Structure 1
């Protein structure tokens, strides 16, 4: 038989290696994940600006710690424990329900980002990623951004798109803050302590400025959506007016629900506007002094603004319950879900390698 005939009838080899994966579904490489996570960390660090500003932030942090220690000296610890143990169950149930609704509202921002960026991750998985990322970011600060990058990139989302989702979440959060704080301050619904002096008198102007910036954002979205700009090396594109409206609605709902969690845990008779004002003030403080979970900063602001309305031991008991419900519980659930996602990913990878 001629050699070409033998070559024609030679049986084909059977490959035992797994078939190549689709480039869309393939998980991101470790190098890409590392670069994305490091980039998020650099953005978080550069947010603090130059070294003089970092020194000023450290000085403010130390001053806050000093004020916190001063308040702690007057705390009735036995009374706080008694108030925490005697907290009615209906308060805890209301706070738990509001916490779940708040996390659902914030996780839905990732669904909105899915619509904007056009990634192919399923809606249910997107909500799960949003929940895990939000719970970790609240407790771990800028380091929590790594969870969002890890989860999205393991679902086939590239680093550029994952960064866009992260920035979209940050922008949406502050859009809602501007809407809620601007409306409350401009309407005179939040009464700051009289001894805050000039800040109290300027609060209405600050509210009008926030509302003005929000209106400017909506006008830009109407006039220039689809146009791209380059900002700090990132390509920024404004969303459509409908997306901007949904950003404002979801984030505003989250801020109001968050204040509702704390209000539900406080004794009856504390005005919701006072709780909302303390929450918004603590958010401003945390934007300057970025402490993971706001430890110490949130308590200091609430003591300064609500200390005359609620006994200190009852206020601290409510804040302790708030931390357990809104920070501790969701973090434990998020870490368990993250461990499950990672273990399932490893099982799928091993199955693909062995051709199962």
Structure 2
């Protein structure tokens, strides 16, 4: 007969369940990776790369310069995420210094993945500037939250109001994408409600105390991040020279962003192009489509990385100089 203590004890998963669940998750991840890899290889074999390079060279220089200016504005917006974290933690670093750290981290994050850029560079740079590990963690977490809460809002609006015409072999149609959009937007708005009713309070999640921001701070997060994601879509739309409506381009970019995060491929190499070709090649010839995406990589990934490498070199030199003196 069970005792009272045993009756109150939570049920533990069966040993067999504990064994197969991790393998199931790994298997699903590897299946997704192999599927994306197969899609990239299949499409790469059908592409006339000479035509792609011709399409890239045919882009007007003024158009590429305008795209680079939008990219600079987008990076500037992203650096404000760390400024919000500065306000949240109350640390004393100057705003230009914080924006410089965020810029360097974001550029390396885009090209080498979040563990290298978003995490490692922030910890190294902020710790050299005297921030405590706890404050760095809070700034990092708040920046990531800002980025993805804005994503939910923009993706929700894009999927719900202008759903994509998905390929027939995909297991979700436009109606399903519209439902997904409503759910994503509801989550983003739910975050605002949480800020409105629980702002300033602390919540414990898996043993970590998290402070719920105020409604004003939550609204700033949504506004800045949504503007940044919208700018990224505008850059691709501009380089495509209006061949596809902006909401459609933005929706495809948002799908590609999640695919790149899931696959953990540095810079999303091949993933971005595979998603765009799969979803837009029926509306835009492959050569100009891939030419526009290569130009996007140049102005949004490679050019900022060059600047970030130089800034990082200056930062390291100054840090060593301070230690010597």
Which TM-score applies when normalising by structure 2?
0.89
The 5 A counterparts of 1:111-260 are 111-141=83-113, 142-144=115-117, 145-187=119-161, 189-195=162-168, 196=170, 198-260=172-234
Choose which of 269, 277, 290 in structure 1 pairs with 2:264.
Answer: 290
Q: Distance in 2 between matches of 1:339 and 1:51?
A: 43
> In 1, Cα distance between the equivalents of 2:126 and 2:64?
34
Specify the alignment match of 1:336 in structure 2. Answer: 310
Cross-structure match for 1:87? 59
Structure 2 equivalent of residue 303 of structure 1: 277
Q: Which runs of 5+ in 2 are unaligned?
A: 1-20
**Do 1:221 and 1:241's aligned partners in 2 also have CA atoms closer than 8 Å?**
yes
Q: CA deviation at 1:215?
A: 1.9
Which of 25, 36, 45 in structure 2 is aligned with 1:64? 36
User: CA 1:299–1:165 in 2, change beyond 3 Å: closer, same or farther?
Assistant: same
Structure 1 gaps of 5+ residues are: 1-48, 352-356
TM-superposed CA distance for 1:244, in Å, is 0.3
What is the deviation of 1:319? 1.0
Larger Rg: 1
User: Would you say the 8 A contact 1:91–1:265 is kept in 2?
Assistant: yes
Query: 2: distance between equivalents of 1:54 and 1:138?
Result: 25
What secondary structure, in the 3-state scheme, does the structure 2 residue paired with 1:301 have?
Answer: helix
**Are the counterparts in 1 of residues 273 and 290 from structure 2 also a CA contact under 8 Å?**
yes
Contact 2:39/2:274 (CA < 8 Å) preserved in 1? yes
Question: Residue by residue, what CA displacement relative to the aligned partner does 1:170-193 show, whole Å, maximum 9, x if unpaired?
Answer: 111111111111112222x13232
Question: Does structure 1 retain, via aligned residues, the 8 Å contact 2:150–2:188?
Answer: no
Is the contact between residue 152 and residue 188 of structure 2 (CA under 8 Å) also seen in structure 1? Answer: yes
| Partner residue in 2 for 1:39 | none
Report the Cα offset of residue 264 of structure 1: 1.3
Give the structure 2 partner of residue 15 of structure 1. Answer: none
Give the conservation status (yes or no) of the 8 Å contact 2:202–2:212. yes
Structure 1: which 4+ aligned runs deviate by more than 4 Å? none
Does structure 2 retain, via aligned residues, the 8 Å contact 1:117–1:164?
yes
Residue of structure 2 in register with 1:3 after alignment: none
Residue 321 of structure 2 is aligned to residue 347 of structure 1: yes
Query: Are 2:166 and 2:173, in contact at CA under 8 Å, matched by a contact in 1?
Result: no
Output the TM-score relative to the length of structure 1. Answer: 0.82
Residue 194 of structure 1: how far off its partner (Å) = 5.0
Residue 197 of structure 1, CA deviation = 5.1
1:138-177 CA distances to partner (integer Å, 9 max, x unpaired)?
1111222100111111111100110111111111111111
